[in-house]
């Protein structure tokens, strides 16, 4: 029996095939691709390519029944790509335009998605975000699946036994390597952060990977984990992240918006574990990678930001030994 649904705001800008896979996770990829290829899957009544990006409010027709009503009373029945999973923690690959934790009860978010995924498995629905990513920051996000693992991971962050690295496309060309140590102060009223001597210590290391067309691809290591740290520090250094409306260069953002840049091009690329304790000790000395998202890859190609080793760096996926 065919099924029709309206694309939600949480899926806005997502590829058609990935939107379908998130709603029907048990459906074989070959079935999804055949439906799209033959036109039995339709978007607003028309045949569409698998990589077309859906918009909120569009009508999606599929030749399958409604998603299975598993997982209790979850408002949003969506899944996430899993980069690593064991009994104690999960690392998911967060897409753009998705909150980690909701501001309201009716908002799609990472925590509820992970709980829904656990409910499908019949596992205990306990999931805690160990750190945060902004709504439009993509990539690796660490989730604890128990109170014990949450405590161990929080302690590891405090003792800096967990290292996060990001990929970002920035304006201009920074030095090959650098360090930014400007203190950051958050204004809770406006949800903005600024460099201020009264703020908290913040330290960011960066490494230039490639440059071209007035833009650069950099790797960022956030030694501290302050709100908006990468965005504010790079703007403070004179190299704001491309697409960052709040802290970036408006004129340059507008120029690239017309070429498809819809968000700050910041991606959580890896989470590396140093010495962990207790049940998580086997993870010590490993890192989990999230491959670069498609919009960042397109920009790298469009701006001719080529560099040796690009493919292997951008494609790193899942756990690796350090």
Would you name the residues annotated as active-site residues?
A: 134
Backbone angles phi, psi at 39, to 5 degrees: 90, 5
Give, to the nearest 10 degrees, the angle between helix 29-38 and helix 16-23.
130
Q: Which two tokens stand for residue 190?
A: 């406006």
CA–CA distances in Å: residue 160 to residues 178, 223, 230? 20, 8, 17
CA–CA distances in Å: residue 164 to residues 45, 103, 140, 296? 43, 25, 9, 19
Secondary structure (3-state) at 110: helix
Q: Which two tokens stand for residue 117?
A: 């995924």
- DSSP state string for 173-217: ---SEEEE---EEEETTTTEEEE-TTSB---EEEEEEEEETTEEE
User: Are residues 171 and 240 in contact, defined by beta-carbon separation less than 8 angstroms?
Assistant: yes
Helix (H) or strand (E) holding 47: strand 46-47
Given CA atoms 128, 130, 133, 138 in this order, what sign does their dihedral have? negative
CA–CA distances in Å: residue 189 to residues 192, 235, 253? 8, 21, 25
Q: Which two tokens stand for residue 69?
A: 């009503």
């Amino acid at each position: 029996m065919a099924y029709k649904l309206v694309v939600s705001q949480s899926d806005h800008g997502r590829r058609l095939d990935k939107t379908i896979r998130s709603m029907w996770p048990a459906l074989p990829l070959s079935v999804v691709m055949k439906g799209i290829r033959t036109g039995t899957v339709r978007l607003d009544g028309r045949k569409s390519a698998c990589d077309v990006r859906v918009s909120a409010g569009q009508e999606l027709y599929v030749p399958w029944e409604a998603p299975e009503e598993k997982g209790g009373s979850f408002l949003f029945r969506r899944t996430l790509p899993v980069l690593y999973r064991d009994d104690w923690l999960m690392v998911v690959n967060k897409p753009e335009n998705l909150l980690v934790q909701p501001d309201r009860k009716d908002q799609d978010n990472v925590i509820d998605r992970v709980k829904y995924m656990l409910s499908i498995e019949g596992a205990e629905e306990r999931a805690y975000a160990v750190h945060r990513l902004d709504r439009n920051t993509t990539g690796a996000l660490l989730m604890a699946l128990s109170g014990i693992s949450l405590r161990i991971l929080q302690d590891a962050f405090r003792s800096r036994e967990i290292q996060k690295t990001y990929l970002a496309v920035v304006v201009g060309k920074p030095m090959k390597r650098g360090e930014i140590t400007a203190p950051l102060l958050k204004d809770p009223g406006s949800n903005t952060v600024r460099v201020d001597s009264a703020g908290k210590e913040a330290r960011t290391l960066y490494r230039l990977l490639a440059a071209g067309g007035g833009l650069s691809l950099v790797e960022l290591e956030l030694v501290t984990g302050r709100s908006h740290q990468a965005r504010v520090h790079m703007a403070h250094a004179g190299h704001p992240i491309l697409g960052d409306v709040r802290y970036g260069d408006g004129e340059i953002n507008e120029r690239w918006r017309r070429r498809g840049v819809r968000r700050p091009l910041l991606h959580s690329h890896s989470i590396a574990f140093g010495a962990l304790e207790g049940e998580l000790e086997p993870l010590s000395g490993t890192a989990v990678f999230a491959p670069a998202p498609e919009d960042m890859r397109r920009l790298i190609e469009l701006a001719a930001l080529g560099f040796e080793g690009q493919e292997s760096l951008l494609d790193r996926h899942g756990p690796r030994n350090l």
